[in-house]
């Protein structure tokens, strides 16, 4: 290690000298900034991105309403951050791995997770891939290369470094992207992940959704520096800050990041400046910690509206098509929800499977004891638990999703 | 058959696993050129390259987070935590992530390929940050397997099983025995079963149970007891999680007495779990209270280590008390 400049008196630096610029292409009125160039994006792909943004918004609205009606135990919205998540996903290869935090359902929508797949997880029914074991929004899909969500914050970040290291050794030209909020970037896992990725030249994209709040804690109480981006300097990592409500800029930045990752084995940090328009979760009320005025200001930067105007400007979209799509979406989402709600919960056996590759003798004993107990008190347990046991004829009694789940 | 010490046996197991499957990777602090502070990974980087055997930055939560991702991707990581005392920064990654990966994803993803190797235990004048036995913390977490070998032969066979096991395994190596335990170890590939205890000596008056480095302490205690005419049955639990209840139950049904020993502090130690299960399943056959011989409920001491440790004399006294009850 060599120092390029020596000084002979104390000379401290704070990094305030650096101001990381924000990459932008699209203005709120749907026109490009002067001198900005739109990424190469054909009509089909542009519409695929836009539809995914719209579907995510509608899905979030409907599911939030369902939560308020008591049909769902919990929900988290992507609202306001659709351009960041979906713009980034669209710039990747479909087989690149996504390791998300929890608010990135837009990525799944873009990759084709069906309404049924969403609803089955949200209601924790027998068709949920996660077998009803996690709270709503903990989606996962092997087929779509989307790692199952885990509640603890930031744990997926070093895992993404490890996953991508494996991809590098496999030599198949894939990378991993990991999404997290600016709050999660305070966790030790974030620093561990960036350091290991830069030391070992791992093809991973760290995508920070700087959405202003970690539950109620504003970013000003989360970090003292100029956002998350400058941290990359400490790890000698490529970094870019992008307007997270500008889908074209996010798409373009992620395209370039992917090139650095896959072709050069360089990890990249992207900080997308955006805003969590909705509450943190269905259990949160942002009116307690931020002003309506602040929210309104961000509502005017709505990423969906911005892209819609751009599409209309290009003649690829119209208000009629918008209305038609929204109506059919709302209808489909509702129909799927009704279907998922009626499905029974996972079988009782699923309590003890997948803890290990095989059910251990101790777990088998515990399951047998539980069955014997339920047989003695058949009316005290939900129908689903009893329906599996051939010895028990279960009368009536609907299982409600989220019986055992408290909101977090 | 060649003779090896425990480190050589572990190194040999890693070598076999890496030669057989190029998805097997070894990494951790100082494991590269240097071969690990105890030399368990000697020459592996030389043989298999820097991509497959490498130093990580000094960050345990990063090592295990990284290992979880690698294992989920389909690689077979063998991550080393330099001392079991330093596994706690990685606690969240192990108990919340490693342990639940398969369960929470409904088996869409798993980290079954992961093995975490780490030296544990006292008797090396290591004070409380180089002597702890943290197995009980992990025994409380469904989804993990926890294995402790007692000698070089066991270490090689169990480590090869751990690496090939479909579930993540924490492999606690008794560092006091790294060089002290020497024995015959076959050069070829072999595996020993995880989740099965081993009856290392049959007897009729009392069952004496332990794992890892305590096994040779038990042997010395049993020698003393047998001289006094007490017939001891000795069991090496080998796997702390899942543990082999049936073998222990069968033995206690025969002897009617049980002495359990471990180095870790008594309160919340794994002996408590065993004792509770055995009284549940063998209550009417017990001739005396189940005895526990353990470390004290203090941090591990430095100078008074010999007094602190559950040594052969303490176990001997416990055996006598059990038989004379």
Mean of pLDDT values over A233-261: 98
Q: How far apart are the C-alpha atoms of A338 and A333, rounded to whole Å?
A: 9
- Residues constituting chain B: 325
Chain B positions touching A97 (Cβ under 8 A) are 73
Instruction: Judge: B66–A97 Cβ closer than 8 Å, yes or no.
Output: no
Q: Are the Cβ atoms of A356 and B145 closer than 8 angstroms?
A: yes
The residue with tokens 């989402």 is A333
Contact B183, B4 (CB under 8 A): yes
Task: State the nearest Cα–Cα gap between A173 and chain B, in angstroms.
Answer: 14
Mutate to test the interface with A, among B50, B106, B244 (most CBs of A within 10 A): B106
Distance from CA of A24 to the nearest CA of B (A): 33
Chain A: residue nearest B91 by CA? Answer: A155
Between B109 and A1, where is the model more confident?
B109
Give me the phi and psi of A106, to 5 degrees please.
-60, -35
φ and ψ at A183, to 5 degrees? -70, -45
pLDDT(A392) > 90: no
- A155 neighbourhood in chain B, CB within 8 Å: 65, 92-93, 96-97
Position A223 scores a pLDDT of: 94
pLDDT for the residue A381:
87
d(CA B36, nearest CA chain A) in Å? 18
Residues of A whose CB is below 8 A from B73? 97, 162-163, 166-167, 170
Diameter over CA atoms, chain B: 60
E strands in B6-102: 24-28, 53-55, 76-80
* Listed residue (A78, A81, A71, A86) closest to A122, CA to CA: A71
pLDDT over 80 at A1, yes or no: no
Q: Which of A164, A188, A357 sits opposite B166 (nearest CB)?
A: A357
Q: Could you tell me which of B152, B190, B196 has the C-alpha nearest to residue B174?
A: B152
**Which residue in A142, A189, A354 is closest to B65 by CB distance?**
A189
Q: Is the pLDDT of residue A310 over 80?
A: yes
What's the pLDDT at A405? 36
Q: Which residue has 């990592």 as its token pair?
A: A237
Angle, vertex CA B242, rays to CA B240 and CA B246, nearest 5: 95
A147 touches B at CB < 8 Å: yes
Could you tell me if A131 lies within 8 Å of chain B, comparing CB atoms? yes
Is A107 an 8 Å CB contact of chain B? no
Q: What pLDDT, on the 0 to 100 scale, is given for residue A320?
A: 95
- C-alpha torsion sign, points B214, B215, B218, B220: negative
Q: How close A131 comes to chain B (CA, Å)?
A: 5
- Are A119 and A340 in contact by the 8 Å Cβ rule? The answer is yes
What are the structure tokens assigned to A336, written together? Answer: 């799927």
Q: Pick B69's closest partner by Cβ from A140, A163, A358.
A: A163
- Subunit contact B104:A128, Cβ cutoff 8 A: no
* Contacts with B72 from chain A: Cβ below 8 Å: 147, 159, 162-163
Q: Is A186 on the interface with B (CB under 8 A)?
A: no
Q: Where are the alpha helices (DSSP H) in B232-311?
A: 245-255, 270-282, 305-308
Q: Which residue of B has its CA nearest to A131?
A: B106
CA dist., res. B47 & res. A241, Å (int): 42
- Chain-chain contact of B75 with A200 (C-beta, under 8 angstroms): no
Interhelix angle A115-122/A319-342, nearest 10 degrees:
40
Whether A162 and B71 lie within 8 Å, measured CB to CB:
yes
B171: enclosing H helix or E strand: strand B169-174
CB proximity under 8 Å: A 329-388 to B: 350, 353-358, 360-362
Which residues of chain A from 1 to 20 reach within 8 Å of chain B, CB to CB? Answer: none
Tokens 């990063």 label which residue?
B62
* Cβ atoms of residues A110 and B85 within 8 Å: no
pLDDT surpasses 90 at A188: yes
B62 CA to chain A: closest CA distance, Å?
5
Residues of chain A contacting residue B92, judged by C-beta atoms under 8 Å apart: 152, 155
Give Cα separations from B21 to A233, B56, B116, B174, B240 (angstroms): 37, 21, 18, 27, 27
Total H helices, total E strands in chain A: 13, 8
- Residues of chain A positioned with their CB less than 8 A from the CB of B70: 162-163, 165-166
Q: Does A171 touch chain B (CB under 8 A)?
A: no
Asked if B70 and A142 come within 8 Å (Cβ–Cβ), the reply is: no
Residue A86 to chain B, least CA–CA distance (Å): 23
Peptide bond into B242 cis (omega under 30): yes
B39 burial (CB, 10 Å; 0-12 / 13-18 / 19+) is: middle
pLDDT of A226: 94
**What does each of the 325 residues of chain B score in pLDDT, given as a tens digit?**
999 999 999 999 999 999 999 999 999 999 999 999 999 999 999 999 999 999 999 999 999 999 999 999 999 999 999 999 999 999 999 999 999 999 999 999 999 999 999 999 999 999 999 999 999 999 999 999 999 999 999 999 999 999 999 999 999 999 999 999 999 999 999 999 999 999 999 999 999 999 999 999 999 999 999 999 999 999 999 999 999 999 999 999 999 999 999 999 999 999 999 999 999 999 999 999 999 999 999 999 999 999 999 999 999 999 999 999 9
Torsion of CA B312, B316, B318, B324, to 10 degrees: 180
Contact A193/B62, CB-based, under 8 Å?
Answer: yes
Rounded to whole angstroms, what are the CA distances from A385 to A127, A338, A347?
15, 21, 7
In whole angstroms, give the CA distance from residue B315 to residue A299. 72
Cα(first)–Cα(last) distance of chain B, in Å?
Answer: 45
Give catalytic residue positions of B. 60, 130
Would strands A213-214 and A217-218 be described as parallel, antiparallel, or unpaired?
A: antiparallel
Which residues contact residue A65 at a Cβ distance below 8 angstroms, ignoring those fewer than 6 apart?
none
Q: What is the pLDDT of residues A318-376, one digit of tens each?
A: 999 999 999 999 999 999 999 999 999 999 999 999 999 999 999 999 999 999 999 99
């Amino acid at each position: 290690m060599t120092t390029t400049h020596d000084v002979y008196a104390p000379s401290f630096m704070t990094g305030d000298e650096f101001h990381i610029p924000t990459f932008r292409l699209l203005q709120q009125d749907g026109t490009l900034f002067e001198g900005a160039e739109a990424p190469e994006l054909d009509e089909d792909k542009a519409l695929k991105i836009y539809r995914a943004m719209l579907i995510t918004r509608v899905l979030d609205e409907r599911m939030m309403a369902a939560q308020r009606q008591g049909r769902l135990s919990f929900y988290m919205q992507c609202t306001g951050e659709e351009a960041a998540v979906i713009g980034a996903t669209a710039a990747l290869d479909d087989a690149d791995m996504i390791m998300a935090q929890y608010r990135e359902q837009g990525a799944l929508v873009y990759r084709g997770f069906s309404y049924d797949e969403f609803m089955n997880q949200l209601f924790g029914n027998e068709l949920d891939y996660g077998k009803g074991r996690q709270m709503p929004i903990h989606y996962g899909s092997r087929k779509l290369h989307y790692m199952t969500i885990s509640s603890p914050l930031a744990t997926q970040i070093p895992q993404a470094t490890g996953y991508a290291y494996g991809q590098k050794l496999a030599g198949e030209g894939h990378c991993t992207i990991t999404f997290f909020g600016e709050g999660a970037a305070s966790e030790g896992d974030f620093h561990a992940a960036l350091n290991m990725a830069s030391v070992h030249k791992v093809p991973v994209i760290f995508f920070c959704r700087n959405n202003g709040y970690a539950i109620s804690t504003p970013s000003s109480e989360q970090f003292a520096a100029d956002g998350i981006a400058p941290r990359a300097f400490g790890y000698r990592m490529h970094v870019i800050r992008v307007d997270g409500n500008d889908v074209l800029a996010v798409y373009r930045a992620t395209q370039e990041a992917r090139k650095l990752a896959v072709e050069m084995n360089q990890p990249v940090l992207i900080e997308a400046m955006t805003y969590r328009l909705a509450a943190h979760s269905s259990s949160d009320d942002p009116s307690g910690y931020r002003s309506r005025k602040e929210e309104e200001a961000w509502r005017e930067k709505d990423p969906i509206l911005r892209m819609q105007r751009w599409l209309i400007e290009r003649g690829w979209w119209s208000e009629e098509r918008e209305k038609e799509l929204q109506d059919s979406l709302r209808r489909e989402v509702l129909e799927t929800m009704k279907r998922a709600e009626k499905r029974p919960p996972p079988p009782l056996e699923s309590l003890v499977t997948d803890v290990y590759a095989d059910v251990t003798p101790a777990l088998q004993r515990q399951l047998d004891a539980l069955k014997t107990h339920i047989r003695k008190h058949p009316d005290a347990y939900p129908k689903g638990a009893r329906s599996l046991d051939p010895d028990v004829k279960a009368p009536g009694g609907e299982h409600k999703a989220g019986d055992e789940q408290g909101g977090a | 058959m060649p003779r090896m010490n425990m480190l050589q046996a572990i190194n040999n197991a890693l070598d076999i696993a890496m030669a057989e499957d190029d998805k097997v990777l070894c990494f951790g602090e100082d494991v590269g050129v240097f071969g690990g502070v105890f030399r368990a990974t000697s020459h592996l980087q030389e043989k298999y390259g820097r991509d497959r055997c490498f130093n990580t930055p000094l960050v345990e939560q990063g090592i295990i987070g990284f290992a979880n991702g690698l294992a989920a991707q389909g690689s077979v990581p063998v991550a080393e935590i330099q001392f079991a005392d330093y596994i706690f920064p990685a606690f969240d990654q192990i108990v919340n992530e490693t342990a639940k990966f398969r369960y929470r994803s409904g088996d869409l993803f798993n980290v079954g390929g992961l093995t975490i190797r780490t030296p544990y235990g006292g008797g090396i004048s290591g004070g409380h940050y180089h002597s702890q036995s943290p197995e009980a913390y992990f025994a409380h977490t469904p989804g993990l397997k926890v294995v402790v070998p007692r000698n070089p032969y066991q270490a090689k066979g169990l480590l090869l099983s751990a690496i090939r096991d479909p579930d993540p395994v924490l492999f606690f190596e008794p560092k006091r025995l790294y060089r002290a335990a020497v024995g015959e170890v076959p050069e070829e590939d072999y595996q020993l079963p995880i989740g099965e205890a081993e009856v290392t000596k049959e007897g009729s008056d009392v069952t004496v149970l332990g794992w890892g480095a305590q096994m040779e302490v038990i042997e010395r205690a049993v020698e003393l007891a047998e001289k006094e005419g007490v017939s001891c049955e000795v069991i090496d639990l080998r796997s702390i999680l899942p543990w082999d209840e049936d073998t222990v139950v069968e033995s206690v049904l025969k002897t009617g007495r049980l002495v359990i020993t471990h180095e870790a502090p008594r309160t919340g130690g794994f002996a408590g779990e065993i004792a509770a299960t055995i009284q549940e399943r063998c209550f009417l056959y017990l001739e005396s209270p189940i005895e526990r011989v353990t470390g004290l409920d203090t941090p591990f001491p430095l100078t008074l280590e010999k007094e602190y440790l559950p040594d052969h004399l303490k176990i001997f006294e416990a055996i006598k008390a059990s038989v004379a009850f």
